[in-house]
Amino acid sequence: MIKVGIIGASGYAGAELYRLLLGHKDVNIIAISSQSYEGKMISDLYPSFYGRFDMMLTNDQEVLENAEMIFASLPHGLSEKYAKVCDEKGKKFIDLGADFRLDHEKDYQQWYLHDYQYPDLHEKQVYGLSEVNREQIKKATIIGNPGCYPTSITLGLYPLLKHHIQKDEKIIIDSKSGTTGAGKSLTEDTHFPKCNESFHPYKIASHRHTPEIEQELSKMAHQNIEVVFTPHLLPVNRGIISTIYVSLKDSVSWEAVYDIYQKTYQDEYFVRVLPTGKVADLKFVQYSNFCDISLHYDARYHQLIIVSTIDNMVKGAAGQAIQNMNLMYDLDEKEGLMMIPASF
């Protein structure tokens, strides 16, 4: 059994981690911590766990001492010190925050306004997009779990960029997320009277996921890729839907594009390329680790429109983190993640 600990377990992503890990046959949750709620039972925060997971929130040190696999679900700037301890003790570390996602410190400084505390540590990091970086993840000890928006976008674009069938280097992306994507702390935008029965863009041309998206898309394409990225806030609890607009090369047919997507993902359990004519809908990925992709062709402009949907708390956070853990321990990649989305 893998002895698992969770630092920052009182937030939404932390709660998703132990909700999913409780169904994992190879995991024993040893300790969970929270600086804000130390000493409280987790069922005091999330009553759905009452009588089934009545574990007390402890301090970070207890997690680091007793667990061998550490998940950190923390705001940016807080995970490096825990990764350092894990590295020194030979423990595996998966960061659900932003500290190990970017390849270059200058990008982290620009977008997150922080320096690296331990620059050498970042030479060991692997970007945890499971379907794309599987072999590197298997050998890694420090994983930067992808952001939720980037997961939906990079999986949606991977086959296209891998085969170099896009015409331009600039891609337009509209993404929409449920309110859990903003975290548990209340903000003006997520205050119920503001977000209920509303739908609005935010952080236009300035969202912190932008450099992560461009970084990973550029690696997939082996050339510089720029994005115009606009996120929106949906008045729902969970789910992300990304609509992506790409001009195709003149020599590429719509039929060839669909065939490329089907072949790229035919052996990927968690990525479902929908039949032509179907439209991906966030309703049918909620509470699951699936990414549903639908492809649409605008014949007037020879343009591909990609719709990619995930649950931001599962495939966009805790589920992908567990998928990465399974890879790191050479387990069945699907273990603990076999839930099927509800249909209504």
The Cα–Cα gap between 10 and 36 comes to 8
Which helix (H) or strand (E) segment is 228 a member of?
strand 226-233
- The pLDDT assigned to 184 comes to 61
What pTM does this model have? 0.95
The Cα–Cα gap between 6 and 56 comes to 12
For 181-209, b/e burial (b = at least 16 CB within 10 A) is bbeeeeeeebeeeebeeeeeeeeeeebbb
Architecture of domain 149-311: 2-Layer Sandwich (3.30)
Q: State the Rg of the chain over Cα.
A: 20
* Closest by Cα among 223, 229, 228, 227 to 214: 227
User: Where are the chain's structural domains?
Assistant: 2-146+315-328, 149-311
| Beta strands across the sheet bearing 240-247 | 200-201, 226-233, 170-177, 240-247, 303-310, 291-298, 271-273
Do domains 2-146+315-328 and 149-311 share one topology? The answer is no
- The pLDDT assigned to 191 comes to 64
**pLDDT < 70 regions, the chain:** 182-186, 188-191, 194-195
* Closest by Cα among 172, 157, 135 to 273: 157
The Cα–Cα gap between 30 and 34 comes to 14
What are the backbone angles phi and psi of residue 171, rounded to the nearest 5°? -125, 140
The Cα–Cα gap between 71 and 239 comes to 22
Instruction: Tell me the residue type at 323.
Output: Q
Q: Under a CB-based contact definition with an 8 Å cutoff, are residues 322 and 337 in contact?
A: yes
193 Cβ neighbours under 8 A, 6+ residues apart: none
The Cα–Cα gap between 3 and 7 comes to 14
Is residue 291 part of the annotated active site? The answer reads no
Model confidence pLDDT, tens digit, residues 68-82:
999 999 999 999 999
CATH annotation of 2-146+315-328: 3.40.50.720
